[in-house]
Chains A and B, each alone.
Chain A
């Protein structure tokens, strides 16, 4: 590809930006090759996507968030999802306690007093986004000491072309050259895969992105380092705000017992409760007890209380169930079983909640890795995943010219045939016939895999039978005692942990041969020899297979013609 960077663009310095509805974060790849999330001037790595104006002065991030109480009409928040949309198609609910969105021409705007004059101005959501990007760019440039002028930005999978265009235009107006827009779930997967210790494997990953105002879940197939989204599910009302509401309601009821007034009926009281409630909810993710204290909540009455994690988890049970339902729903949508999922990645701020992670890991078998702070010590901070992934991509494409990037992300290149069935090698032994997948289903073509198998101990002639295989889920009731003693499947045989003894069933994945494709013979293999099998699948479903004994030069080759 574009190995030679254009001299004019040699000065390009790119970062990764995750632009969320509630929070944004910026990251870059350090010279050592590690992703590094950049803190803004206030030391925040999670920068609230909020802008506030007081007498012409602009406040951004945490400072702007504090303005939601006193200066809510001149504070713009939760505007990301309005970008590039028409007024009639937006959901203004999250903006109840900030500047309200209005219609202006075909776009959405806010009426705020952003200058020193008394008359309010109507500012479009694009302009607000541009200002937000300017602040992010400034923070990154200040931190790095270099002028940041390009970025890779993450977007949800359901972003329309109009939204993408609006986002690119807004970033451009802020002086950021958008190299590429990448999907949030894929950025999260990449953040894990870009770690130096990560290896390239075939896996099915569920990315659960639980944000402040919405939740998105996606099933991503990772095949030899290439990612394909198999299914997505979105819930635009479920998010951190839903959990905050539980905390708010809890404290509001407690307050009403003492003082007979509902703090939620007072706008300022509600804003205070919301702000402090969110902080309390976050504190509960880290410790088992959390305090709340609000000065002058209503009628000048100060309020202080504590809540413990168990109480919160009990109250929030229903909401947690919604999160887990969403995950199950998406697995179903991808026509998969929970047993097929190798990895669950938690992304977004709400993912810090420990109960959520434990509930989700209960859905999946034990073999599935759940990457959340509560379940795995090696997990990356879920709030930073998107921006880290974006930064990684930015470091990859930074040197490329725009035209090169555009050509590479063109559907001509990205739309590829994917295998419908796994391809593998069949083994016949005394205990029966087994199948070992070499290329998993949903592998993007063309693809090539090489594997080594051992030959029989005594050596001699060996048969390699390349087949298509399918997986079955074998449900075994415990009573008749599991009789399957198939040779161990390397990854997929597992128990489904369920607490109820009576209904304990064993589910496991069993591979079976569906259709043999080719047979190859390797003759005269030495004792204890190893056989290397290389399978290459063309986009037209043609196969090239080469089999050789490790250490020998002579390979048995053959080709199967494609159907297409």
Chain B
């Protein structure tokens, strides 16, 4: 984008009298723009989209992109392998290379077993550039001491051979992390023990190694962690500490003896290491607060379950009892209500009976009061009998309510014979109409 086009044209000279603030003068503005759709394709559009979406200007975007590109190449030149060189180390003799710290020699003591083969190669190259005997000669140092250069070569040879590197790593004390000596609690525990197991994890054949975690780790995680460490499959060997086997070919017995001794020493060390690791895990487990916490939780869980169960049983029982009591209460109530009902009925019946008795009396007395409808004087026995028979007949045919109505009518009629008769006649007629009485029965009220 920032390409420069070279145009073959000559700019005019500045006319006389031209003046502008800071050599710049605005003369006009651009005429309008049209809105169009840019086709979303091509690298330049992608750059445009990037600028527009991130609100960058051309130069900003160029700078950011440039930085982005630079980063990728920078990794190669990474200066993570420069370390100060210990003068004691520089003065080492090449022949006791077994005692040297190979990582320190290459300036990789920060990385140790984590150093990649690529890092080792680059570190080697760097050291060689500085310590090559020819360089020293060129700098005018005439001592022909190239022992440190040899140390470098030894260290590189060893570290680039995976088998030998493992042997060295197995006994690399500088990579070990000492376990804490006293009991720790809280976050200190995890801080102190975490690196210990991380360092021990380098010997495991199974990778990745589970981490110690922290107080919030799940029970599952913690269990996996301890299970792993109790059954760890370690490749740690102790060949590096072997005594040198005499290689002169003269004393075969001596050689065998040394080899046997070495094998025994290795076995012993390995057993010791296994025991050490086991004790280490035991110690960690003993002071791990999480185990206690999980146990408590489990117990609390069990208790809670038991309590819940008991509560449930109790609740069921209570419910049953309550239901029973309810049932009894209901029965009792029903009985009492029935009894009260019966009594009430009885009273009403009696009252009705009394009322009808009274009414009947009124009825009977009514005919008697009007002298049995006799026109004058004493009524004949036959007359009295006829009227009373009809009164009985009608009384037998009508019910309580009608009886009351009739009694009322008769009470109003009083001793007026005609009114009483018409009341009776009316009643007789009603009964005839209702079909309860045959026409011509109750002749006395016709």
Residues of chain A having any CB pair with chain B under 8 Å: 1, 3, 180, 182-183, 186-187, 190, 193, 200, 220, 224-230, 389, 392-393, 396-397, 407-409, 411-421, 423, 425, 427-429, 434, 436, 442, 444-446, 448-457, 460-465, 468, 487, 490, 514-523, 531-532, 536-537, 539, 541, 543, 545, 556-558, 560-564
Contacts and interface: CB of A to CB of B under 8 A. Distances in A.
Main SS class of interface, B: mixed
Contacts of B31: 420-421, 468, 514-515
Contact of A463 (B6, B14, B33, B53): B14
B15 interface: yes
A517 B11 contact: no
B12 A463 contact: yes
Nearest to A470: B31
B27 interface: yes
Contacts of B13: 456, 460-463
B382 interface: no
Given A408-B49, A461-B14, A558 B3 contact: no
Q: Which of A413, A428, A465, A564 has the largest count of B CB atoms less than 10 A from its CB?
A: A413
B249 interface: no
16 contacts: A200-B3, A225-B1, A225-B43, A409-B49, A413-B48, A413-B53, A423-B30, A444-B48, A450-B3, A451-B7, A456-B11, A462-B13, A463-B12, A521-B24, A557-B24, A560-B30
Contacts of B49: 1, 407-409, 413
B45 interface: yes
A227 to B, nearest CB: 4
A541 B9 contact: no
Contacts of A180: 40-41
Interface string B49-71: 11111000110000000001000
Contacts of B38: 226-228, 414-416, 444
Nearest to A194: B42
Contacts of A460: 13-14
A311 to B, nearest CB: 41
A239 to B, nearest CB: 24
A420 B41 CA distance: 22
Nearest to B3: A200
A187 B42 CA distance: 9
Given A556-B22, A560-B29, A193 B40 contact: no
Contact of A452 (B2, B4, B35): B4
A442 B36 contact: yes
A451 B58 contact: no
A3 B45 contact: no
B27 A519 contact: yes
B2 to A, nearest CB: 7
Given A407-B53, A463-B15, A515-B31, A450 B10 contact: no
A176 to B, nearest CB: 19
Given A186-B39, A416-B36, A418-B36, A427 B11 contact: yes
Interface of B: 1-15, 18, 20, 22-46, 48-53, 57-58, 68
Instruction: State the 9 A-B residue pairs at the shortest beta-carbon distance, nearest first.
Output: A225-B44, A558-B24, A417-B33, A461-B14, A408-B49, A409-B40, A227-B39, A521-B23, A428-B12
A429 B29 contact: no
B7 A229 contact: no
Given A416-B35, A418-B33, A490 B24 contact: no
Given A416-B48, A420-B33, A446-B58, 11 more contacts: A180-B40, A416-B35, A417-B34, A434-B9, A442-B36, A449-B5, A454-B8, A463-B11, A465-B12, A523-B23, A541-B29
A10 B28 CA distance: 52
B44 A419 contact: no
Contacts of A428: 12
Contacts of B24: 518-521, 545, 556-558
A518 B42 CA distance: 33
B37 A415 contact: yes
A522 B22 CA distance: 10
Contact of B40 (A413, A448, A523): A413
A188 B46 CA distance: 18
Contacts of A521: 14, 18, 20, 23-24
B30 A453 contact: no
A238 B287 CA distance: 87
Contacts of A452: 4-7
Given A227-B41, A541-B33, A463 B18 contact: yes
B309 to A, nearest CB: 48
A543 B20 CA distance: 17
Nearest to B34: A418
A457 B8 CA distance: 13
B35 to A, nearest CB: 6
Contact of B10 (A446, A449, A456, A522): A456
B26 to A, nearest CB: 5
B26 A558 contact: yes
Nearest to B16: A461
A450 B42 CA distance: 21
A451 B43 CA distance: 22
Contact of A420 (B2, B6, B26, B32): B32
B50 A1 contact: yes
A514 B33 CA distance: 15
A228 B45 CA distance: 11
A99 B365 CA distance: 119
A491 B437 CA distance: 139
B30 A563 contact: yes
A166 to B, nearest CB: 20
Contacts of B18: 463, 519, 521
B265 to A, nearest CB: 48
Nearest to B14: A461
Contacts of B9: 425, 427, 434, 436, 453-454, 487
A290 to B, nearest CB: 38
Contacts of A537: 30
A464 to B, nearest CB: 6
A518 B36 contact: no
Contact of B26 (A455, A518, A536): A518
A3 B68 contact: yes
A224 B44 contact: yes
Contact of B41 (A186, A455, A515, A519): A186
B35 A451 contact: no
Given A1-B53, A3-B68, A450-B4, A228 B11 contact: no
